[in-house]
A and B are shown apart, each in its own frame.
Chain A
């Protein structure tokens, strides 16, 4: 009897395998590794996947999405264990290094022959030129990189009886008034003018949260007009920038917790009227800031400042790119199916821009974005592609809901940014950079923090920086960059 049962079970198992394989069809699977720039499963990702597969019959989209903040750690772990996706999203740092080292598929030819490039709707040639590594293209950016603009609370300006500043001196006067003249009208001296998530950013363009102070200084490697490289951190412009920040910090204009603020903490303080000047992302974030202020019972009217006199322009960062790995079995097919349709001017672009219908937007009673599934009281503003940053318009005759979906403040902030921004460039990654730049960055950031908070004078901090080898690491990296010329 036992033998009979065992035989039956074994037979059933074999049959189930046969039947499973019989049901397996010729579906082509495309695996993508993506960070939080594609909304997660709590925010309609499954509906997006289903719609994408509906638009691409015969393809199965498999999304690997680690936690946004652990994306690059996860990516490396997967790749070290040989678990490569077909497509992945990369920041400029990884893009440049992976491309140089043959990890990515060269899509130059595919791009030249692509429907998107030859559609007549594509407007991002300059962006794509900036993405080329040694003349070849390894990544596709559906949007510009975007950057930050400085927002000032209109209600605070009105309360202190001032106009939006145009020069740095006026800017400082406004900041002083925001600290000393009780702009929130609560009768207490409990406001700061400025706050941010750190004094210096962790990735290029580094200075985008405090541009009024950094002005023409740049703390990273910069290629000069003659093609040679320098470390902008060790220039007089950087010294002047740090001194401006130190003075403002000493006057109490900058939130003293800027050093330890996370981005979310800085935003929350802005919504809570703890400070009045916030440099943050242009475009749809203008709407997010406004609606969150209003949700807190504050005035949501914000003025986006054009760059002050002396500030060259805001930085348009190098956009993250979609790249195909060299382990992809059929890169041309993946390019044609996944990448070249992202800006197809039709249903797929609609999906990537506005998300799945009835989850992100609805046509009932006219086009409108729907309420955020996780944050009640706020509406979605986009899915993956910011409609104001897209590098291709919708096809003629296809309904583009941009006018209805993008609110005026977002349009205004975006327009101001586009008129007043400069494109950040990719700094090539060298072996020497890989060896010393981690340590150098730690030393630079420490010096910035110590000078601004008045722990050390610039000269003392520089001496410590040099004693720890900062200057020789910097020189070695500059030499390695110049050797590429």
Chain B
């Protein structure tokens, strides 16, 4: 590590480096242009978070008003009615913020946990053919769109005769349950559906790690008298540890990006309790009966980005500590 740091410190100034390696810099130009055009220029849209802006109308600068609205902040001398309105208006925002974090973190832990377990099972399989078939089957759900996934599970969980799960419950004398209409049940099924859809795909990275473990380690462990469990305990798990942490850290940075999976499974009975920030923005915009104020939506988006950035910095710091290198 020290050696690497020394090399960096001895770097030549940018100008001479460009002159020396101009061919590489030339090749880099399209990528740089792409990043600037599609990632940096659109950031200009951030300014709308400080305006009141409806489609077709000229944006009006309102300073931090959109953020005050978001957080329910009003002037101390405002009337009680205004304070009450502001407080109620910001309630769903905080609930959606909490949901975004909770849903994402639980989803991440469950998906990673199940992916590790399944990877180990797959790795232990002796029949290569069976292993490959199993892998193909568990990868498939990842390629289904969320809309199709939601339609399939809505049918499976239906209360009426088309609902497979409730038909099974009825067949053993249990009452049918409207799984997607009660917030507690909805959340459980949300996690189950996510695990079903994403776990298989996530096993790829763990399978890669497992196959790269030196077989000599297992042979040595066997010679030391280790059984299957002991081999897993002392060889497999330590080898996977670094990958698990890497996967968790990399995904933590993305936890604010939650929309489609929630949106397609929501319904009127649970919408308020299950909104995440992006679905909240959507409903605020399209359920209002008026042309939406995009400034407010941008303000929510900007807040989301700032939280995402903070998480990213934390992850980068954690990554440096754990892996010796950052994620950016």
The smallest beta-carbon distance between A262 and chain B, in angstroms, is 8
Q: Which residue of A has the minimal Cβ distance to B176?
A: A256
The smallest beta-carbon distance between B90 and chain A, in angstroms, is 10
Q: Which residues of B contact A430 (CB under 8 A)?
A: 290
Q: Which residues of A contact B56 (CB under 8 A)?
A: 79, 98, 101-103, 325-326
Check if B88 sits within 8 Å of A437, measured CB to CB. no
Q: Which residues of A contact B176 (CB under 8 A)?
A: 256
Check if B268 sits within 8 Å of A449, measured CB to CB. yes
> What is the bound-complex CA distance between A430 and B289, given in angstroms?
9
Check if A259 sits within 8 Å of B267, measured CB to CB. yes
Check if B181 sits within 8 Å of A259, measured CB to CB. yes
Chain A interface size, as a band, is: 35 or more
In chain B, positions 157-213 with a C-beta closer than 8 Å to chain A are: 158-163, 176, 178, 180-182
Check if B181 sits within 8 Å of A449, measured CB to CB. yes
In chain A, positions 55-106 with a C-beta closer than 8 Å to chain B are: 72-73, 75-76, 79-80, 93-94, 97-98, 101-103
The answer to whether residues A434 and B57 also contact, given A256-B178, A448-B268 and a CB cut-off of 8 A, is: no
Check if A98 sits within 8 Å of B291, measured CB to CB. yes
Check if B178 sits within 8 Å of A255, measured CB to CB. no
> What is the bound-complex CA distance between A135 and B258, given in angstroms?
45
* Of A93, A102, A190, A198, the contact of B289 (CB 8 Å cutoff): A93
Check if A93 sits within 8 Å of B178, measured CB to CB. no
Check if A469 sits within 8 Å of B181, measured CB to CB. no
In chain A, positions 433-476 with a C-beta closer than 8 Å to chain B are: 433-439, 441-443, 445-446, 448-450, 453, 455, 468-469, 472-473, 476
> What is the bound-complex CA distance between A445 and B288, given in angstroms?
13
Check if A446 sits within 8 Å of B272, measured CB to CB. yes
Q: Which residues of A contact B289 (CB under 8 A)?
A: 93, 220, 427, 429, 433-434, 437, 441
Most buried by A among B56, B81, B290, B293: B290
Check if B181 sits within 8 Å of A76, measured CB to CB. no
Whether A199 sits at the interface, judged by CB under 8 Å, is yes
Whether A260 sits at the interface, judged by CB under 8 Å, is yes
Q: Which residues of B contact A419 (CB under 8 A)?
A: none
* Of A257, A435, A442, the contact of B272 (CB 8 Å cutoff): A442
Whether B286 sits at the interface, judged by CB under 8 Å, is yes
Whether B269 sits at the interface, judged by CB under 8 Å, is yes
Check if B288 sits within 8 Å of A433, measured CB to CB. yes
The answer to whether residues A72 and B88 also contact, given A79-B55, A98-B291, A190-B161 and a CB cut-off of 8 A, is: no
Check if B272 sits within 8 Å of A437, measured CB to CB. no
Check if B284 sits within 8 Å of A438, measured CB to CB. yes
In chain B, positions 58-113 with a C-beta closer than 8 Å to chain A are: 69, 81, 84-85, 87-89, 91-92
Q: Which residues of A contact B267 (CB under 8 A)?
A: 259-260, 449
Q: Which residues of A contact B284 (CB under 8 A)?
A: 438-439
* Of A103, A192, A468, A469, the contact of B57 (CB 8 Å cutoff): A103
The smallest beta-carbon distance between B264 and chain A, in angstroms, is 11
Q: Which residue of B has the minimal Cβ distance to A78?
A: B55
The smallest beta-carbon distance between A171 and chain B, in angstroms, is 21
Most buried by B among A94, A431, A441, A448: A441
* Of B81, B161, B181, B272, the contact of A468 (CB 8 Å cutoff): B272
Q: Which residue of A has the minimal Cβ distance to B181?
A: A259
Check if B288 sits within 8 Å of A438, measured CB to CB. yes
The answer to whether residues A76 and B294 also contact, given A103-B55, A438-B285, A450-B269 and a CB cut-off of 8 A, is: yes
Q: Which residue of A has the minimal Cβ distance to B294?
A: A80
Check if B283 sits within 8 Å of A442, measured CB to CB. yes
Whether B271 sits at the interface, judged by CB under 8 Å, is yes
Q: Which residues of A contact B159 (CB under 8 A)?
A: 256-257
Q: Which residues of A contact B294 (CB under 8 A)?
A: 76, 80
* Of B57, B272, B293, the contact of A102 (CB 8 Å cutoff): B57
Check if B85 sits within 8 Å of A101, measured CB to CB. no
Whether A148 sits at the interface, judged by CB under 8 Å, is no
Q: Which residues of A contact B283 (CB under 8 A)?
A: 438-439, 441-442
Whether A267 sits at the interface, judged by CB under 8 Å, is no
The answer to whether residues A260 and B287 also contact, given A443-B272, A455-B269, A473-B85 and a CB cut-off of 8 A, is: no
Check if B287 sits within 8 Å of A455, measured CB to CB. no
Check if B271 sits within 8 Å of A442, measured CB to CB. yes
Most buried by B among A72, A192, A442, A450: A442
Q: Which residues of B contact A202 (CB under 8 A)?
A: 287
The answer to whether residues A259 and B89 also contact, given A72-B286, A102-B57 and a CB cut-off of 8 A, is: no
> What is the bound-complex CA distance between A190 and B162, given in angstroms?
10
In the complex, the number of residue pairs spanning A and B with C-beta atoms less than 8 Å apart equals 148
Q: Which residues of A contact B160 (CB under 8 A)?
A: 192, 255-257, 274
Q: Which residues of B contact A343 (CB under 8 A)?
A: none
The smallest beta-carbon distance between B195 and chain A, in angstroms, is 21
Whether A30 sits at the interface, judged by CB under 8 Å, is no
Check if B268 sits within 8 Å of A476, measured CB to CB. no
The smallest beta-carbon distance between B162 and chain A, in angstroms, is 7
> What is the bound-complex CA distance between A139 and B270, given in angstroms?
37
Check if A468 sits within 8 Å of B286, measured CB to CB. no
Check if B158 sits within 8 Å of A257, measured CB to CB. yes
The answer to whether residues A469 and B290 also contact, given A103-B56, A446-B272 and a CB cut-off of 8 A, is: no
Check if B57 sits within 8 Å of A439, measured CB to CB. no
Whether B123 sits at the interface, judged by CB under 8 Å, is no
* Of A94, A256, A472, the contact of B291 (CB 8 Å cutoff): A94
In chain A, positions 244-299 with a C-beta closer than 8 Å to chain B are: 255-257, 259-260, 274
Check if B291 sits within 8 Å of A429, measured CB to CB. yes
Whether A200 sits at the interface, judged by CB under 8 Å, is yes
> What is the bound-complex CA distance between A443 and B92, given in angstroms?
11
Check if A260 sits within 8 Å of B158, measured CB to CB. yes
The smallest beta-carbon distance between B272 and chain A, in angstroms, is 5
Whether B141 sits at the interface, judged by CB under 8 Å, is no
* Of B54, B81, B275, B286, the contact of A472 (CB 8 Å cutoff): B81
Whether B292 sits at the interface, judged by CB under 8 Å, is yes
Whether B243 sits at the interface, judged by CB under 8 Å, is no
The smallest beta-carbon distance between B13 and chain A, in angstroms, is 34
Most buried by A among B85, B88, B285: B88
Check if B81 sits within 8 Å of A200, measured CB to CB. no
> What is the bound-complex CA distance between A445 and B267, given in angstroms?
9
> What is the bound-complex CA distance between A434 and B293, given in angstroms?
7
The smallest beta-carbon distance between A67 and chain B, in angstroms, is 12
Q: Which residues of B contact A468 (CB under 8 A)?
A: 88, 91, 272
Beyond A72-B286, A434-B290, A473-B85, 7 extra complex contacts between A and B, CB < 8 Å: A190-B161, A257-B158, A434-B289, A434-B292, A437-B289, A441-B288, A455-B269
The 6 closest A-B pairs by CB, nearest first: A469-B88, A103-B56, A434-B290, A429-B290, A256-B159, A449-B269
